């Protein structure tokens, strides 16, 4: 009986926290689908997975950086990333997933977001993706390799904020790039505008990821 009471208490606490969060996420998702908001995705202490069938970007730059963040127990931490930035991008068939572990009563809970699966792709302006791992095929056009990050002038510029990066460090840039069959693990995504056409979001127990 005691364990049931504790379980009930944990569930109520989880519901109090989770229900407003889901409602807020849904409202933000609707606004993003309508192209009304700038976007910023980051999960404190957690990376998330993203897949896309095809990304066509213009004004591309990539450079190394350290992302500041927090672990799940609230301690500050940094993550080495490769920042991929685009002045504009269209993305076909995008999936983004994050797993929150060890929630009382429920265990693991997975959030999956899908968009751009129909004829209208996801569209983004001034898009930055802080990537830890990436697989896929790439075609670069008008590429410059080995420029200093501060001198890269084809992309939207260095992100700044909590990101730690060396303006004199190695970077590459291109007039345009096409990425296909992409699988990546990222720590953060930010965009000036991010329109998610055909947005679908789901929450489920267990570990369910885009790949």
Q: Break the chain into its structural domains and give their ranges.
A: 2-205
- Could you tell me the two tokens for 211? 């790949």
Higher pLDDT, 78 or 87: 87
What's the pTM?
0.80
- Report pLDDT digits (tens) over 107-157: 888 989 999 998 999 999 999 999 999 999 999 999 999 999 999 999 999
**Does the pLDDT value for residue 186 go beyond 90?**
yes
Instruction: With CA atoms as reference, report the closest residue to 190 among 77, 34, 81, 53.
Output: 81
pLDDT band at 90 (very low <50, low <70, confident <90, very high): very high
pLDDT of residue 148: 96
CA distance 172 to 186: 19
* Residue with more model confidence, 182 or 46: 182
Of 100-104, 126-130, 193-197, 205-209, the poorest mean pLDDT is in 100-104
Take residue 192 and report the two structure tokens written for it: 């000036």
Question: What's residue 11's pLDDT?
Answer: 43
The predicted structure's pLDDT at residue 20:
42
At 144, list the tokens.
């410059």
């Amino acid at each position: 009986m005691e364990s049931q009471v504790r379980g009930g208490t944990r569930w109520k606490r989880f519901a109090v926290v989770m229900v407003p969060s889901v409602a807020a996420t849904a409202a933000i998702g609707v606004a993003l689908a309508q192209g009304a908001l700038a976007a910023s995705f980051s999960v404190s202490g957690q990376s998330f997975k993203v897949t896309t069938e095809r990304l066509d970007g213009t004004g591309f730059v990539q450079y190394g950086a350290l992302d500041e963040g927090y672990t799940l127990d609230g301690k500050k931490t940094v993550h080495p990333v490769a920042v991929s930035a685009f002045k504009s991008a269209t993305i076909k068939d995008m999936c983004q997933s994050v797993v929150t572990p060890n929630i009382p009563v429920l265990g693991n809970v997975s959030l999956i977001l899908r968009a751009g699966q129909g004829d209208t792709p996801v569209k983004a302006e001034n898009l930055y993706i802080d990537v830890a791992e990436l697989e896929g095929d790439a075609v670069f056009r008008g590429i410059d390799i080995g420029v200093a990050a501060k001198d890269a002038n084809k992309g939207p510029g260095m992100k700044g904020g909590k990101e730690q990066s060396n303006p004199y460090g190695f970077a590459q840039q291109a007039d345009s790039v096409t990425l296909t069959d992409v699988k990546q693990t990222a720590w953060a995504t930010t965009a000036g505008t991010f329109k998610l056409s055909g947005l679908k979001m789901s929450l489920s127990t267990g570990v369910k990821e885009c790949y």
